[in-house]
Amino acid sequence: MAFIKKGYEKRWPNGTVPFTLDPSIENDPNAKQQVELAIQHWQANTPIRFVPRTRQDDFVVFKPASGFCQSDVGVQGGEQAVRCDLSSGLFSSASIIHEIGHTVQLLHEQKRPDRDQFVIVDPSVLHDINYKILWHQRPLGAYDCTSVMHYPSLVGKIQKKPGGCKAIGGSVLTAEDAQAVRFLYPLSKVGRGRWGPGWTHLVPFDLNRTPHLFKYNRDTGRVTIDRIAADGSGTTQVGRGKWSKGWTSIVSFVLGGVPHLFEYNRDTGRVTIDRIAADGSGTTQVGRGNVGDGWSGVVGLIRDPPYFLIHRHDGRLRVYRLHPDAQGMDETGRTDSTSGWTTFAPLNLGGHLHVIRYKLEEGIVAISILNAL
Ligand SMILES: [Zn+2]
């Protein structure tokens, strides 16, 4: 898929690269267009974003060069250059696309330790900085012969190998290049805020087809309900309340089309069911029960009325179905085979409820149809 330089500190925060153009590129319409085309290509195919530099400390300057193109790998700190000869006609936006790959932490594909299975590298360049195998960086996925980070055979120092690459080099990001960039930059922040400290539980739910968030502070019992902006840019508090302290698990579910919350206290075994007000202003307790103490987690299973799967780190689990009036729960299945499943998740497959179970220590996974309905 790609070859990446190790080290998180080399990445651009939030995948955003502040940049400027050297005056000689700014004033050369062709050179400027090649840079802009390359930036557009990156923005169309990856989460990387380029913003004109204002006061950012770390930034890229696109600069001219004579007979070559070059970039450092990853964030250097302060000003760093992407140099490229865009005036001689030797290089174009494809070269800038490649250099930007270095800037965001990609290495030459032909420097991967497994490259000799796929290409023939001329002995004269075995120690050339652009071809020399790097043993301590990180190859991602399979070797990508047509990666934009792979040198083409045109250079004459590297050739296709029978049974290996059928073509080598490329002028645009491959799907695998883009996938590697998403690996390096898995999150793109779109919103921010300040909630104050102490929230121990964040439970998302939909209210009137709008995403909301229930927040709970286990130590104080404080509760708020926030509406989440449709573009994710922030949250607005719409409701609040005071619950008892000490709930360890909270899950949201829908009952009769209305969002509710299920709370469990691991120390006391208590369960309560709360209905969320239609305007999100607060919650009203509508049911209660006790499922015994010591359960490590609750998984809500998406049905109306819902099922709850309550599990313990030793593998024991119980399945409960909530009454349509929320006044009680029926146990519909149990297993005490203490087989060490530590982590559970619900799954809807072909209209049937399934459960994924995972053993943290051994790495084993099981996917099961949930029969106990
Ligand atoms: Zn390069």
Looking up tokens 């999150």, which residue turns up? 187
Distance 147 CA to ligand 1 centre (A): 11
Q: Is 201-369 the same fold as 2-184?
A: no
Distance 311 CA to ligand 1 centre (A): 52
Distance 98 CA to ligand 1 centre (A): 6
- For the chain, give every domain's residue range: 2-184, 201-369
Distance 70 CA to ligand 1 centre (A): 6
Distance 53 CA to ligand 1 centre (A): 24
Distance 130 CA to ligand 1 centre (A): 7
Class of the domain covering 2-184: alpha beta
For 199, 258, 351, the CA distances from 207, given in Å and listed in that order, are: 21, 8, 23
Distance 177 CA to ligand 1 centre (A): 14
> Is the Cβ–Cβ distance between 313 and 296 less than 8 Å?
yes
Per-residue tens of pLDDT for the chain, all 373 residues: 899 998 888 999 999 999 999 999 999 999 999 999 999 999 999 999 999 999 999 999 999 999 999 999 999 999 999 999 999 989 999 999 999 999 999 999 999 999 999 999 999 999 999 999 999 999 999 999 999 999 998 667 999 999 999 999 999 999 999 999 999 999 999 998 999 999 999 999 999 999 999 999 999 999 999 999 999 999 999 999 999 999 999 999 999 889 999 999 999 999 999 999 999 999 999 999 999 999 988 888 777 788 888 988 777 888 899 998 888 888 988 888 767 787 888 887 887 888 888 888 888 898 988 887 6
Peptide bond into 47 cis (omega under 30): no
**pLDDT for the residue 67:** 94
Distance 353 CA to ligand 1 centre (A): 49
**201-369: in CATH 2.130.10.10:** yes
Distance 73 CA to ligand 1 centre (A): 9
**pLDDT for the residue 373:** 66
Distance 28 CA to ligand 1 centre (A): 24
**pLDDT for the residue 62:** 98
**pLDDT for the residue 341:** 80
Distance 254 CA to ligand 1 centre (A): 53
> Is the Cβ–Cβ distance between 360 and 340 less than 8 Å?
no
Distance 76 CA to ligand 1 centre (A): 16
Distance 82 CA to ligand 1 centre (A): 11
Distance 110 CA to ligand 1 centre (A): 10
Which element (helix H / strand E) includes 262? Answer: strand 258-264
**pLDDT for the residue 221:** 97
* Burial class of residue 228 in the structure, from the number of CB atoms within 10 Å of its CB (0-12 exposed, 13-18 middle, 19+ buried): middle
Q: What's the whole-model pTM score?
A: 0.79
Which residue, 136, 130, 96, 127, is CA-closest to 110? 130
Distance 60 CA to ligand 1 centre (A): 16
Distance 100 CA to ligand 1 centre (A): 9
Distance 6 CA to ligand 1 centre (A): 17
Distance 29 CA to ligand 1 centre (A): 24
Q: Rounded distance, CA 257 to CA 91, Å? A: 60
